[in-house]
Structure 1
């Protein structure tokens, strides 16, 4: 235990609380069992360490933060750790990277049952929910998903400019008010262009020079380590999955032809669909299905996007299609709190079974969604709204 606390003290001391994500106030930290999952690099570990630093005094032994892959846990089980911790007065156990500990869900359930006085927080991969498997544990656990920075959050992180969250309904109903509030503090189109290329992952602030290199490492880690470990993907197919990601990153938005894609990377059609769903679960991709389709296990998605625009620029820097970047940005922000479907013949996207949205440049016309109720264009390269044509950057304030 002493070695774990030495590491705990060092990690917490080195954690800055200058900027804290909004999620800090969205988590009910009083719950007995909490899980925070999200893609590698979005800031889960930082959030947990900041929570400790903001809520406990230095050397307070009622809380312990540790990573599940620390060498100290190779000499004891999680249950043994919890037993020693509680015996010495511990009240809150925070275990990061929990997916790296074999059979973690069984031991966490046992800890929950044995020590009702102990609060447990675990964090891990976006694939954490697939790994849990235990229905009893799932019912006991309060789950949260952490995403990368929205455009709004990026302005706060990198420019120190604060804005509230604007709901989609507010953007549609009061776009002029929002434009006035935002444009009074910054040039939104300029900031939007910068955000497309960098800033979704908070570690951009730490190392701007090697940001894209680190992003490639994130993608490789998910494909080479997390998919085989959690989804039981055969390591022999890792090259095929990387090829699949490469094809998607270089493509303009189009209706997915699973058979053609399968032929291009020389694997079966159902295998392509399965891998796409794995990559979506890992928060590397967003899959959209037609609003006219019921979704089954092997139903192919109609459109596929990388999870955020920064991945586009990291994986295919010389051939990023602006149309792809625009639509990717829209899906990234809309999908966090809305149901987004491929609009098929009525706009690019159908949102919450109500709104029909077209995404494009400043000259985009309403021909595809003319005379359709609740239809709007979100356009790039415009700063202010004009009737039902709204600035695309406004979607960056949805979370």
Structure 2
């Protein structure tokens, strides 16, 4: 059983998504979640309680994540707001919080529409027409705010919303999706100039500490001791709902059932009918057991008894769903980057937990740095290797060491890389507490504690 402290609404959603019949809860004979489905009007009424109450319930949690203010500021623009990210990171909660802010600012609650395609897949125009029947709001003429959650379940969603955006300037559209790479690619292809895209990531250590301690933490140095003591708990609990869960078994169940299996057994098969869930889980188990593993398709193919092309396709599915991070071997030209020697990490180290994997401290640190900094490259040539390379404009090599005492050999590959590729500075992330810089052969190596990186 999942944590009994979960609110009733959350519990109902779990049962809903497990395809249970809960018609007795809502007192209607038409509701049969197992077969499909609540009538659209009922879904809209249940999902938009503020139409009658004038306010939103505890779905808009009191804690505001750091990204919230940026999202709130973007609401003033006409462009569509597109939220992506792993399941359970809090995209829906952020939507509810934006709705709450709109109501507080004096907007008519009936002019705010929320619909989740997790509950049913309906055409946007059908939803809007039913919305007008229920509220009498003329959505073609009046200023309204439309929130579409889990929009990736709607086929050709970007093309359909593009039509609404281009023809109805009175609509402010906010959408989210868990099939993040698909959402991002479709938005880039079909919504160029029409959207702002923001990824909602798992909690940072700082956010985890704020939720755990119930305090606002702005000064890292003042709270360094508490952050370091919370670090081990944070590794398995970077999702808002489970920050304070104590039972390790329940945490594992949550991560397995509501994050991993929801994506592997429901989301991906919905999008890709030929996907093999057993192979996805086997690949995830391999990556969880050895974060940063070199992707040797020939060896994996023999171990799993699967053709290399099938393996490559399923690794792409996992990357597509942001369950793994594929890191490619750096070359100065992106086009010249090797197709071979890819490395694979869990998207966040917490995804190792359901598989009872025991990655080394070094692998944990590498996974955290890759996740926190959204890194996509590493570098390896002959016997030299650098853990990551950031190439957002300036090229910066990044080495990760799970140790407090550093020696010359810990940064020699960084310096070699900088001299070869003309980089001005490099970063060495380590377990210590002091942030400082070293000048070596006219190159700057910044020593940064792991807590600072994931704060």
- Structure 1: runs of 5+ lacking an equivalent: 165-177
- 1:141 correspondence with 2:178: no
Counterpart pick for 2:451 among 380, 393, 398: 393
Q: Secondary structure at the match of 1:34?
A: strand
For 2:100 and 2:407, the matched residues in 1 are separated by 52
State the alpha-carbon separation in 1 of the partners of residues 112 and 345 from structure 2: 40
Q: CA deviation at 1:259?
A: 1.3
> Which position in structure 2 is the counterpart of 1:172?
none
Q: 1:203 to 1:295 in 2, by over 3 A?
A: farther
- Answering whether residue 407 of structure 2 is matched by residue 354 of structure 1, we say no
- 1:365 is aligned to 407
Corresponding residue for residue 99 of structure 2: 52
The alpha carbon displacement at 1:46 in A equals 0.4
Residue-by-residue CA offset, 1:184-233 (whole Å, 9 max, x unaligned): xx4332222222232x1112147553222111111112112222223x25
Deviations 1:330-362 (Å, cap 9, x if unpaired)? Answer: 111121xx6643455243223332234232223
Cα contact 2:89–2:202 (8 A) shared by 1: yes
Change in CA separation of 1:363 and 1:316 when aligned onto 2, cut-off 3 Å: farther
Q: Which has the higher contact order (CA 8 A, sep 6+)?
A: 1
Deviations 1:369-390 (A, max 9, x none): 325453443223x333576544
| Structure 1 residue aligned with 2:362 | 323
Q: Select which of 180, 203, 218 maps to 2:241.
A: 203
Task: Count residues with an aligned counterpart.
Answer: 372
Name the residue aligned to 1:13.
Answer: 57
Q: What is aligned with 2:29?
A: none
Contact in 2 for aligned 1:256/1:301 (Cα 8 Å) = yes
What is the DSSP-based 3-state SS (H/G/I as helix, E as strand, rest coil) of the residue aligned with 1:87? coil
- Name the CA shift for 1:152/1:131 in 2 (closer, same or farther; >3 Å): same
User: What's the counterpart of residue 175 of structure 2?
Assistant: 122
For 1:271 and 1:263, locate their aligned partners in 2 and report how far apart those are by CA, in whole Å.
12
- Higher mean Cα deviation, 35-44 or 290-299? 290-299
Distance 1:326 1:180 in 2: 20
2:441 is matched with none
Cα drift, residue 262 of structure 1: 2.0
What pairs with 1:14-33 in structure 2 (closer than 5 Å)? 14-27=58-71, 28-32=74-78, 33=80
Task: Return the index of the structure with the highest Cα Rg.
Answer: 2
> Displacement, 1:300?
4.1
Distance 2:229 2:261 in 1: 31
RMSD of aligned alpha carbons: 3.1
Residue deviations 1:292-327 (CA, integer Å, cap 9, x gap): 38568992452111011111122224x332222111
Take 2:405 and 2:144, find their aligned partners in 1: how far apart are those partners? 59
TM-score (normalised: structure 1):
0.82
- 3-state SS of 2:64 partner: coil
Match of 2:283 among 244, 259, 279: 244
Structure 2: 5+ residue runs without aligned partners? 1-39, 419-424, 439-446
Change (3 A) 1:137 1:355: closer
TM-score normalised by length of structure 2 = 0.73
C-alpha deviations, 1:110-163, integer Å up to 9, x for none?
A: 322332211111111114426737844344232221111111221222223434
CA shift, 1:48, in A, is: 0.2
SS in 2 for 1:348: strand
Quote the offset at 1:393 in angstroms.
1.6
Distance 2:244 2:212 in 1: 11
Residue range with higher mean Cα deviation, 290-299 or 220-229: 290-299
The equivalent residue for 2:3 is none
- Measured in 2, the distance between the counterparts of 1:52 and 1:68 equals 18
The answer as to whether partners of 1:273 and 1:299 remain within 8 angstroms in 2 is no
